[in-house]
Chains A and B, each alone.
Chain A
């Protein structure tokens, strides 16, 4: 089976800055894939190389088996990219923009699909409004629509929800999920890790141009061992017996980490013995954010050493 996206030993340097340092990545058709990483990790550079907006210093990238440099026409026909920056052409209306974009892909009679996209992205009453007159969120929707005019089998969304309200976010994800169910491969970058956790089956984490984690979302979350419990105590002191379990202490809250749920009972017993009253208690489920923080932190300490 041809992978939807295949990246091999990708390097990219901008002068003295190295943006990508040997990325190897394979994304299968039909996957909902998240590309995560802090600012400047190389996510957008990677997407730009896939889209043919930037040339890699070395290495190769293929979209459905078509090289993005030597077979750029085929590769681009199979790829839909939602760029990160809000860009628009101020001379045209929403519908004109979409008709022109279809035309670039050689599609003449594309009106029914354009209508469908407009409907799904809730752009119907703005269809004949000039791009200049749209709000930021609306412009973002048009960007998504433009990436979908040619029904690309591989869709790349570069922070599509930055600066977008809750309603659109939900509508957008409903539509994207629908497309994923219909067989489209989705690659997503975002800083909202809860979104990535809810939507994506597989996650790659990038840091300073390297892939530092690549696994299914569930495996990554499972990799966090133990249960965390957050407590507010009165008086505000942690008994000495519980000190070894303390993992974080901020603003009157103590976060203790134990191996099993059953050990929480022991924690409470120790508190009772020390005559410390529990004012608040919260169980912290491990989530992708925790994994992210942990992985980013651990690679940092490795570098230190």
Chain B
């Protein structure tokens, strides 16, 4: 087990050593979104009766931060070490593939949770955000980030060494956190505009369990089907929210048919 702990420790150190960029910066960015959206929408939108829009918004932003950072870590760490070649040190060692996979996934989850917690703690200083069911919140955050980054790792690890230099992937991870992505990202839009499960969990909604599980399930499934970038989230969210099976099937078809065009679709959904 020493090997596994060493790798986990190394992966944690890897982002912790540059925590200014990997933890603090995302926390700040997320808080800026909070500032802007709450300023613009506070007086116009009410998602739940009796809940202020900003209070409604915070859980969504926390979750967004968790997902994005878990994703970004999964892309940056493995791909970075493949491109620079220092992945050989890990591959030369007797670590089993399961240990490698678990260590990377756990480190990504840790970064996601750290950023999410950071955002939540800062907002607590200004707003009263009730946390009624901590186990559910934790479960959702854990499963959400794990499903996302696990899918990515699985794909990366499965690939042969010589196809390591997938620069577009790096580009993806870099733009994941860009404003363009967040504003035009329908997953974020869904998080912002609809009473999605995470908010429900935070605000203790009874309808939570089934829809939550369905959504995480879809999410994980699609990740494992090789579609794991944030933009696919648009259709994913729609599938999870589909009214009936026919609609869901149609959406799944659209998703696979247009996978390479998800960027455009995403932009269109936001504008129309």
Contacts and interface: CB of A to CB of B under 8 A. Distances in A.
A295 to B, nearest CB: 30
Contact of A103 (B6, B18, B92): B6
A164 interface: no
A65 to B, nearest CB: 16
A85 B92 contact: no
Interface stretch (B40-48, B83-91, B111-119): B83-91
Q: Is the interface of B mostly helix, strand, loop or mixed?
A: helix
Contacts of B162: 14
Given A53-B161, A89-B81, A103 B89 contact: no
Given A53-B88, A89-B86, A106-B3, A100 B94 contact: no
B161 A72 contact: no
A277 interface: no
A104 B95 contact: yes
Interface size class of A (residues with CB under 8 A): 20 to 34
Contact of A105 (B9, B85, B93, B161): B93
Contacts of B3: 103-106
Contacts of B94: 72-74, 76-77, 104-106
Interface string A69-87: 0001110110101010101
Interface size class of B (residues with CB under 8 A): 20 to 34
B161 A54 contact: yes
A172 to B, nearest CB: 19
Interface string A51-64: 11110000000000
Nearest to A51: B92
A104 B93 contact: yes
Interface string A155-182: 0000000000000000000000000000
B104 to A, nearest CB: 14
A108 interface: yes
Contacts of A74: 94
Interface string B26-44: 0000000000000000000
Contacts of A51: 91-92
Contacts of A77: 94
B81 A52 contact: no
Nearest to A83: B88
A52 B17 CA distance: 30
Q: Which 3 A-B pairs have the closest CB atoms?
A: A103-B6, A104-B93, A87-B85
Contact of A53 (B10, B13, B91, B96): B91
- Max chain B Cβ within 10 angstroms of own Cβ: one of A90, A92, A100, A147: A100
A52 B95 CA distance: 12
Nearest to B15: A91
A146 interface: yes
B2 interface: yes
B267 to A, nearest CB: 36
B14 interface: yes
A106 B7 CA distance: 10
B23 to A, nearest CB: 15
Given A53-B161, A72-B94, A105-B94, A100 B2 contact: no
Contacts of B81: 89
A113 interface: no
Contacts of A85: 85
A268 interface: no
23 contacts: A51-B92, A53-B88, A53-B161, A54-B161, A74-B94, A79-B92, A81-B92, A83-B88, A85-B85, A87-B85, A88-B84, A88-B86, A90-B84, A91-B13, A91-B14, A91-B18, A103-B6, A104-B3, A104-B7, A104-B90, A104-B93, A104-B94, A106-B94
B5 interface: yes
Nearest to B13: A91
B16 to A, nearest CB: 9
A107 interface: yes
A11 to B, nearest CB: 17
A51 B88 CA distance: 10
B84 A87 contact: yes
Contacts of B14: 91
Contact of A76 (B5, B9, B17, B93): B93
Nearest to A103: B6
- Max chain A Cβ within 10 angstroms of own Cβ: one of B17, B81, B88, B96: B88
A101 B5 CA distance: 12
A185 to B, nearest CB: 17
A11 B86 CA distance: 26
